């Protein structure tokens, strides 16, 4: 499973997260050029080499008309509808636009709860500046490009002390940040200052699925996103991209008094309900009776649902459970045009393996159109795939 892990031992900010993700994408220059070409007035994005405590990484800088926007801070801020208009005008894939809007809605809801005002009346100050908007859009664009199957992170170091913002001097984490981090493991430390910003917290809440220790991971790429301040500890956010196994639940039961139709129906319903796999095997049971071993593989959080379905759809009186590690190749679907029509392709890769094979129904149609055997059609299909 393609997994992205974020080391948040020095918190999270939009620019640090963006800088950490850039080295993970195949062509970072293209993403950077796309950000600068969003159509936002005066925006220029830069990726600069940076070093913290001897560690080499990157610093992500967004200039507005040639200078950092903090130098001409707008205390009036923007409303959510202003952000919606800015994102609507930007040249972005629709999924990226939706992610960015979702992040801003999280920010608006957090500010609303923190300050006791309706979402429509919330002014975005720091997070409403163009450079913050670009940081959020950049992270969403990089996540769209990476398309990880799983995103997990360490507990969040929020810093300590106080922070100066448009509302005055506030405790760390700032109220909106604390609201966004509800339910997320976080901690304070000896380092003074705000390590996790509202932007960073909103991006984490939107994209990260699990928080905890780093999972078993076969690392492919590393990225270090550097903050602007210096501390005794390296001020960086580390992003790790790699392949990981997945913990799954395996449920098994034996039956010897069900018809083939009933077993087939049960397996179909289990798959429709979200099982990762469901199958049967012939087994010998007590009293020398032939029977079936039914096995359902599911995510741990779906265990109770699958157990209830097994009892309802089968005649079993008991179910066995075990936890397993599942390793899978990344899969995606594509199409190849041939003189005989379009051919649907399954592609899979990971662990140094890369495969592509046609869907059976399309392969069958190709064999009929080319008036050849299925094996000959498969060879023909492979020649089109390799072109």
Residue where a domain stops, chosen among 281, 304, 326: 326
Quick one: pLDDT at residue 71? Answer: 45
Would you give the end-to-end CA distance of the chain in angstroms? 28
Are 53 and 106 contained in the same domain? yes
Quick one: pLDDT at residue 336? Answer: 83
Most confident of 16-25, 88-97, 371-380: 16-25
Give the rounded percent of residues in the chain with a pLDDT score beyond 90.
51
Q: Please state the domain count of the chain.
A: 3
Quick one: pLDDT at residue 305? Answer: 96
Quick one: pLDDT at residue 181? Answer: 95
- Looking at residue 249, the DSSP 8-state letter turns out to be E
pLDDT surpasses 60 at 163: yes
**Confidence at 33, pLDDT banded by 50, 70, 90:** confident
Strand residues in 260-317 grouped as ranges (E): 277-284, 290-298
Show the tokens assigned to 311.
């009892």
Are 14 and 36 contained in the same domain? yes
Are 58 and 175 contained in the same domain? yes
**pTM of the full predicted structure?**
0.71
Residue where a domain stops, chosen among 310, 326, 342: 326
Are 172 and 295 contained in the same domain? no
Quick one: pLDDT at residue 119? Answer: 58
Are 254 and 286 contained in the same domain? yes
Question: pLDDT tens for residues 193-223?
Answer: 899 999 999 999 999 999 999 988 889 999 9
pLDDT surpasses 90 at 184: yes
Q: What is the mean pLDDT of the chain?
A: 88
Are 227 and 357 contained in the same domain? no
Q: 124 vs 69, 85, 89, 148, 322, CA distance in Å?
A: 14, 14, 19, 30, 49
Other CB atoms within 10 Å distance of the CB of residue 173: 25
Separation of alpha carbons 267 and 273, rounded Å = 10
The residue count for the chain: 387
Question: pLDDT tens for residues 99-148?
Answer: 999 998 898 888 877 666 665 655 565 554 777 888 999 999 999 999 99
pLDDT surpasses 90 at 333: no
Are 218 and 184 contained in the same domain? yes
The verdict on residue 117 lying in a domain is: yes
Question: pLDDT tens for residues 233-285?
Answer: 999 999 999 988 788 999 999 999 999 999 999 999 999 999 999 999 999 98
The verdict on residue 3 lying in a domain is: no
Are 86 and 198 contained in the same domain? yes
Q: Which of 259, 261, 223, 306 is nearest to 55 (CA)?
A: 223
Are 276 and 178 contained in the same domain? no
Residue 230, Ramachandran bin (φ over 0: left; ψ between -120 and 50: alpha; else beta): beta
Question: pLDDT tens for residues 38-76?
Answer: 777 778 889 999 999 999 999 999 888 777 655 444 445
Tell me which residue range forms the domain holding 371. 330-386
Q: Which of 10-24, 35-49, 69-83, 166-180 has the lowest mean pLDDT?
A: 69-83
Q: Which of 241, 195, 180 is nearest to 23 (CA)?
A: 241
The verdict on residue 63 lying in a domain is: yes
Higher pLDDT residue, 305 or 149? 305
CA–centroid distance for 194 within its chain: 25
Residue where a domain stops, chosen among 218, 243, 268: 243
Question: pLDDT tens for residues 298-313?
Answer: 999 999 999 999 999 9
Quick one: pLDDT at residue 321? Answer: 97
Quick one: pLDDT at residue 349? Answer: 82
């Amino acid at each position: 499973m393609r997994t992205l892990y974020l080391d948040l031992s020095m918190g999270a900010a939009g620019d640090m997260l963006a800088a950490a993700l850039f080295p993970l994408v195949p062509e970072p220059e293209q993403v950077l050029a796309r950000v600068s070409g969003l159509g936002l007035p005066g925006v220029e994005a830069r990726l600069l080499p940076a070093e913290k405590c001897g560690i080499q990484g990157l610093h992500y800088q967004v200039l507005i008309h040639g200078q950092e926007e903090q130098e001409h801070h707008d205390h009036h801020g923007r409303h959510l509808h202003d952000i919606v208009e800015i994102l609507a005008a930007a040249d972005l894939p629709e999924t990226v636009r939706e992610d960015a809007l979702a992040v801003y809605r999280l920010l608006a809801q957090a500010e609303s709860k923190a300050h006791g005002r309706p979402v429509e009346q919330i002014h975005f100050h720091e997070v409403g500046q163009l450079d913050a908007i670009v940081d959020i859009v950049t992270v969403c664009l990089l996540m769209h490009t990476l398309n990880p199957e799983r995103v997990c992170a360490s507990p969040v170091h929020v810093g300590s002390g106080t922070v100066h913002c448009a509302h005055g001097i506030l405790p760390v984490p700032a109220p909106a940040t604390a609201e966004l981090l509800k339910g997320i493991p976080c901690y304070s430390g000896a380092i003074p200052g705000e390590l996790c910003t509202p932007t960073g917290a909103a991006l984490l809440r939107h994209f990260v699925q699990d928080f905890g220790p780093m999972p078993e991971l076969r690392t492919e790429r590393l990225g270090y996103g550097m903050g602007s301040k210096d501390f005794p500890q390296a001020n960086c956010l580390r992003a790790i991209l790699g392949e990981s196994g997945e913990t799954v639940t395996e449920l098994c039961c034996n039956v010897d008094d069900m018809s083939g139709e009933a077993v087939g129906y049960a397996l179909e319903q289990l798959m429709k309900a979200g099982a990762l796999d469901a199958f049967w095997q012939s087994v010998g049971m007590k009293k020398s009776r032939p029977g079936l071993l039914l096995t359902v593989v599911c995510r741990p959080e779906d265990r109770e649902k699958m157990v209830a379905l097994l009892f309802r759809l089968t005649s079993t009186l008991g179910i066995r459970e075990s936890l397993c590690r599942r390793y899978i190749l990344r899969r995606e679907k594509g199409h190849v045009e041939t003189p005989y029509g379009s051919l649907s392709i399954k592609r899979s890769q990971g662990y140094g393996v890369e495969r592509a094979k046609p869907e059976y129904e399309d392969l069958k149609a190709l064999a009929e159109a080319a008036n050849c055997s299925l094996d000959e059609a498969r060879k023909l299909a492979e020649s089109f795939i390799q072109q």
